[in-house]
């Protein structure tokens, strides 16, 4: 699971029926300091994240479970919305 920020939306005039129920967003991956950590990409968004929203996302096989039909081919998908990011210590 990785953090990302929604920076745009994708509007499609025609979609394959498997993708009709899926909203597509443009997002950028984030590092542990919530700074951009890579190139922007398109992801499925079943949670209707808002512009600028920090989300967590999955790629590969796990991304497919965000679709109504888990056999839908997806490279990346939002799997949750982030309310806040705090720090924790693993030192006990």
pLDDT at residue 91, as a whole number:
54
Q: Provide the domain count of the chain.
A: 1
Residue 24 lies in a domain: yes
What CATH number has the domain bearing residue 45?
Answer: 2.40.50.220
pLDDT-based confidence at residue 52 (cuts at 50, 70, 90) = very high
Establish if 86 belongs to a structural domain.
no
Mean pLDDT value across residues 21-29? 93
Determine, yes or no, domain membership for 89.
no
**Percent of the chain whose pLDDT exceeds 90:** 59
In the predicted structure, residue 92 carries a pLDDT above the cut 60: no
Cut 0.95: pTM above it? no
- Classify residue 62 as exposed, middle or buried by CB count within 10 Å of its CB (0-12, 13-18, 19+): middle
Closest CA to 38 of 3, 11, 62: 3
Range of the domain at 32: 2-81
Write out pLDDT tens, residues 60-91: 888 988 888 888 889 999 999 999 877 655 55
What is the DSSP track for 33-60? TS-B-S--EEEE-TT-PPTT-EEEEEEG
In a domain, 40, yes or no: yes
Does 69 reside within a domain?
yes
């Amino acid at each position: 699971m990785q953090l990302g920020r929604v920076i745009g939306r994708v509007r499609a005039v025609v979609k394959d029926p498997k993708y009709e129920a899926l909203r597509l967003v443009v997002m950028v991956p984030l590092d542990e300091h919530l700074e951009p950590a890579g190139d922007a990409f398109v992801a499925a968004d079943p949670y209707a994240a808002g512009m600028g929203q920090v989300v967590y996302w999955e790629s590969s096989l796990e991304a497919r479970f965000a679709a109504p039909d888990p056999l839908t081919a997806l490279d990346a998908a939002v799997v949750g919305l982030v309310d806040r990011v705090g720090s924790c210590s693993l030192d006990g």
